[in-house]
């Protein structure tokens, strides 16, 4: 990456962080951020009674196999369909390698009869939020900024800087692709 691109990314990330900082909501265990799409923490994901009360049919664990976030299909039985993504909340983990799988899982779940999806990690602010933002961008044609504004109206989130840069890259790719082929 050239120095000017790096500087542009830093400025763009600062702008995105201002959007995130403008959220006045407190952090809650779970919030609906799009119709039938929820972001929550690990405690909600491991509480079968709460999942049942919310009507959750699908669980996407963005912290699969991390200590304190052990989940698998066996835990949910027939109550929910499970997808685990072994993501690290770090400045070096390439979460974008899982964007397509996560987006496809969420999309298919929401299209199913009475489908409701919980996307969670440990706190429900970085990994899970990043995957939901990618979903809104890829399936609903929202820009990254519009996706952030929409989600922060419903939940306090704060993807790490590295994840924001991955989402910026995705936003640029989607914008270019749509410019070349408006039907995408």
User: What digits encode the pLDDT tens for the residues 111-147?
Assistant: 999 999 999 999 999 999 999 999 999 999 999 999 9
pTM of the model: 0.93
Q: Are 58 and 48 in contact (CB under 8 A)?
A: no
Residue-wise pLDDT for 4-15, tens only, equals 566 777 889 999
Q: Which domain holds residue 141?
A: 30-175
The reported pLDDT for the residue numbered 179 is 85
Residue-wise pLDDT for 42-70, tens only, equals 999 999 999 999 999 999 999 987 665 66
Question: Is residue 153 helix, strand or coil?
Answer: coil
The reported pLDDT for the residue numbered 126 is 97
Residue-wise pLDDT for 153-180, tens only, equals 999 999 999 999 999 999 999 999 888 8
Which residues are annotated as catalytic?
A: 121
Q: Collect all residues with Cβ–Cβ distance below 8 Å to 103 and sequence separation of at least 6.
A: 131, 134, 135, 138, 139
Q: Tell whether 20 is covered by a domain.
A: no
Here the CATH number for the domain that contains residue 45 is 3.90.190.10
**Number of folded domains in the chain?**
1
Q: Tell whether 87 is covered by a domain.
A: yes
Q: From residue 168, how far is each of 24, 64, 121, 174 by CA, in Å? A: 23, 24, 21, 10
């Amino acid at each position: 990456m050239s120095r000017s691109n790096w500087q542009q990314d830093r400025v763009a990330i600062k702008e995105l962080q201002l959007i995130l900082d403008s959220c006045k909501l407190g952090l809650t265990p779970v919030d609906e951020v799009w119709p039938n799409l929820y972001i929550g923490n690990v405690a909600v994901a491991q509480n079968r009674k709460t999942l049942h009360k919310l009507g959750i049919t699908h669980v996407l664990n963005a912290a699969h196999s991390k200590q304190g976030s052990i989940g698998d299909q066996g835990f949910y039985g027939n109550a929910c369909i499970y997808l685990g993504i072994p993501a690290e909340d770090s400045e070096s983990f390439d979460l974008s390698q899982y964007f397509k799988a996560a987006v496809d899982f969420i999309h298919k779940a929401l299209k199913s009869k009475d489908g409701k999806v919980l996307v969670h990690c440990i706190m429900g602010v970085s990994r899970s939020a990043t995957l939901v933002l990618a979903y809104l961008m890829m399936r609903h044609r929202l820009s990254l900024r519009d996706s952030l504004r929409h989600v922060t109206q419903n939940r306090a989130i704060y993807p790490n800087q590295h994840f924001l840069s991955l989402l910026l890259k995705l936003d640029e790719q989607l914008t270019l692709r749509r410019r070349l082929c408006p039907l995408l």
